[in-house]
Structure 1
């Protein structure tokens, strides 16, 4: 029991050491960058913290982090399988577009309308992601290349269909193009704790449920075990009877289905239509968030909150005379420091474990030599 407790303690310390080291390194590098630009780093950090913890900023961060969290989960499914799904951006836009089109065509009670839109979005996004999965197992095409190309194709398809006279309308006043507005029965609920701060989007509940489902499936099911096994070693998975090709396609489909949820907060809680101003690029933020969270649902949540916090404070930094781009530098530095810190800690832990094993073997050999000498004597 003492030995197991010691092992768990070591793992806990190493697990804490990695993010702490990453945060400290990121702060130091960011401070040096600010100093190099002739700016006061501690003042910048103070501005970010004071503005980021205002009530309206907290609501903004929660709403923004909801979307980033879903994108991070979608990417993390692929990462756990050793797949690099860069296509989350195209998948969620395709899903949200067709969800908006279908939702605008019908008027149903809320308990039917909202699930219909969500299911359509998830099915379309999953089907779009499945293309990359089938290309990988059927033709050996890298999922990186396939998903990058599918992102471009998704942009072209949406641009073609999002035209007046096809599946969209033109607003002559603003010159914007948009799909038919969703009926009020398709508007997702919001929660207001402070009227001055604005409403918290109800889709945060769906994001939490998605995180719980992600944890349960990967940690408590046979499918999750097979997925992690294939990610660690395809040959070992095949030797244990796992159908690797089937797992690859299934993982891409699940990743795409989760990606279908990414655009739902913007569609059901905010715009209630798909227009040429619909948010893009969230899929790529999901990659950074998944890396920050090390593919763990809690870690991804922290990464999403941090990214949303930096997004929120960037405007206020610019208002106070700092370059807005400095936040992009901070975000990149944080991701880089996290990757490096976790690798440093991993190698340290592995080396420490090897030294302990070597010491135990040496002790056992020494004891055996002493016993042999006593028997001989």
Structure 2
């Protein structure tokens, strides 16, 4: 792994750190609530194989500091958290150790952070052994290490409460697909059969087709390893032309998927009709017209009419049954269902006139029942 991640434009680095830290905050709260309800949880592990120097060059905090500050501020979490950090760069490790040594309140942590300097191998495998049989949230660069096998990746996401954010440097992966010197990396990431098929398929593809194809193959490779729900968040080059890298969130829990979807939506640099882009592009502010042409929300009403023809169900059930694998978030469904009610395309109970007003519009709560008309065969 090179230094580019930590040297790159400050706003992109902060978006990455924010996504991981915000999810850790939500994930740890859910796990602590489960423990309070009687589920036996004696440890919560956080594994960061992409830990970095602790602070970016401009002084901004990276993810390890944000995670530990959250644990220090929460008494229950401070007793449960087992934090483990790794970086292949000795200078990053030394800087991180210095940052952790000076972290206020670190003595409140029951388990002192474990810091390793490794290209995975046996040292980092010990992290996964230590986290065995406890809920774990991990941040991993699967292409940045020599020893990260598909077996290790699978172990990260196989158990209850085990969620992961993978960092994919698309530019580096794209360049390495046909590079024999990193063939072992490609086999470890995609599997030898998949990468062989990819090499053949990529021969005649244009750059934009190649990008979509490679990211889709990454998702399918993770699915084969047991990923039930996945969310990608892309970062574009400074000119906004192509993807430079991506975060891919993996979970087995629909609640985790929904939480991360809201977090990534909030960190998106653009929205189209209120539908988040799930990407960050430094060029967005310079090219506002490019992001108002697709009108994605216009398709949602038709999808709902077709999918739920003849059914009566709550707004919450509609959202939970439909949103996985789409860019739509909860407020998009409420907005569209409200429009459909006004247009007479659905019947809502309670009806609009009986629901409270908010910001000049009738609310559409999770409990509002919706009846869709039956469509002729």
| Band of TM-score, shorter chain | under 0.3
Query: Which structure has the greater CA radius of gyration?
Result: 1
> Which structure's residues are more often helix, by fraction?
1
RCO higher in structure (CA 8 A, sep ≥6): 1
